[in-house]
Structure 1
Amino acid sequence: MVDLFTDRVLVKNNKDQDELDTEREIVLRLQNRILMLFFASAESESCQQFAPTLHDFFKQLTDEFYVERSAQLVLLYISLDQSEEQLENFLKELPKKSLFLNYEDPYRRELETIFNVKAVPTVVVLRPDCSVLVPNAVEEINRLGPDCYRNWHEAAELIDRNFIMKEDFEEKSMRSFSDPIRRLKYKVEDEKKKKKKKKGRGWGGGGGGDEGGRGKQED
């Protein structure tokens, strides 16, 4: 993954547009992660329609509001815009945690050729070793939403498998919280049943003795 962007400058889609311009910074950001290359153009109506879906998809996998731990996922916008102004406007539709290549960087067009991009929008999904996992994931993202990341995660064989959806975590936490209470409840109920059985056996034995005693008195 890192080899694709050696000696390149990746820019953060934040207010200051901070640059990742050293090999160390790029390695830390891309290593052992699935990379989504988003090829698009602001003048394309299809791209405009897909952008909110992609924004929500990425946010639900990386925002702590939705997940306990961010997915090992990087979104890199490869602009095919006709002007820098178009690029800047389209960046407003993308997540703040995404990255992009500068408009002046000719590598944008090289990547378009390398991955044989024929139409936009296109989302090329890459494994950490730079091999293609999904040539174009647009349809899959539209159809499955964040669930398709689970398939990517398994197929990419990432080292760290601690990713967990927040609803799964909460369900697990609730089970962990309620299990001791449930076990205590069953334990109390079992103790009550045992006491009833003992009491029943004691009454039966005593009753038999009384009957025997009364029989002797009558004789």
Structure 2
Amino acid sequence: GWCSPCRDFTPVLCDFYTELLEESEPPAPFEVVFISSDHSAEEMLGYMRTMHGDWLALPFHDPYKHDLKKKYNITAIPKLVIVKQTGEVITDKGRKQIRDKGLSCFRNWLEGADIFQNFSS
């Protein structure tokens, strides 16, 4: 909860996620995986309880988070990297795109992931 930009963006991401998964028929092929930069597991859990949508999270002490941060060049937070199921990056500007374009950016991500034909709004 110490990151002001995170507290600002998380509700926007929650709304985006809710619209895609809970208000779309069929639910959109989209999932959020939270990787914490909190200072402790307790801080992470508190933030998740108060701010997060119903999405996945890497456990606080999972060493894989360092590999992911390096792989996706996470140097500042919050950062939203959109990846294919293969892990290939579609965009590392997910946060900006959601802020600028709202739900319309999702169609671009689908086209980038070559799964556009499976989802129509």
Q: Given the alignment of the two structures, is residue 94 of structure 1 paired with residue 49 of structure 2, yes or no?
A: no
Equivalent position of 1:116 in the other structure: 73
Alignment check: 8 A CA contact 1:67 1:164 kept? no
Q: Provide the residue aligned with 1:104 in structure 2.
A: 61
* Identity rate, percent: 29
* Structure 2 residue 120 is matched with structure 1 residue 161: no
The answer as to whether partners of 1:123 and 1:137 remain within 8 angstroms in 2 is: yes
Residue by residue over 1:169-202, the C-alpha shift from the partner in whole angstroms, topping out at 9 and shown as x without a partner, is: xxxxxxxxxxxxxxxxxxxxxxxxxxxxxxxxxx
Paired letter, 1:103: F
Among 26, 37, 41, the alignment partner of 1:80 is 37
TM-score (norm: length of structure 2): 0.92
Q: Write the distance in 1 (CA, Å) between the matches of 2:106 and 2:6.
A: 21
- Look up the equivalent residue of 2:38 and give its one-letter code: D
Q: RMSD over aligned Cα, in angstroms?
A: 1.3
What residue in structure 1 maps to residue 83 of structure 2?
A: 126
Structure 2 unaligned regions, length at least 5: none
Report the alpha carbon displacement of residue 141 of structure 1 after superposing the two structures with TM: 0.6
Return the index of the structure with the highest Cα Rg. 1
Amino acid at match of 1:161: Q
Which residue of 1 is the match for residue 13 of structure 2?
54
TM-score between both structures, scaled by the size of structure 1? 0.52
Deviation of 1:162 (Å):
3.7
Q: Where does structure 1 differ by over 2 angstroms across 4 or more consecutive aligned residues?
A: 160-165
Q: Is the 8 A contact 1:80 1:108 kept in 2?
A: no
Secondary structure of the residue aligned to 2:57 is: strand
Which has the larger share of strand? Answer: 1
Structure 2 CA distance for partners of 1:86 and 1:129, relative to 1, 3 Å: same
Number of positions where the alignment pairs a residue of Structure 1 with one of Structure 2: 120
Unaligned runs of 5+ in 1: 1-41, 166-219
Cα distance in structure 2, aligned partners of 1:164 and 1:55: 21
Name the aligned partner's letter for residue 94 of structure 1: H
1:33-48 to structure 2, matched below 5 A, reads 42-48=1-7
SS at structure 1 position matched to 2:85: coil
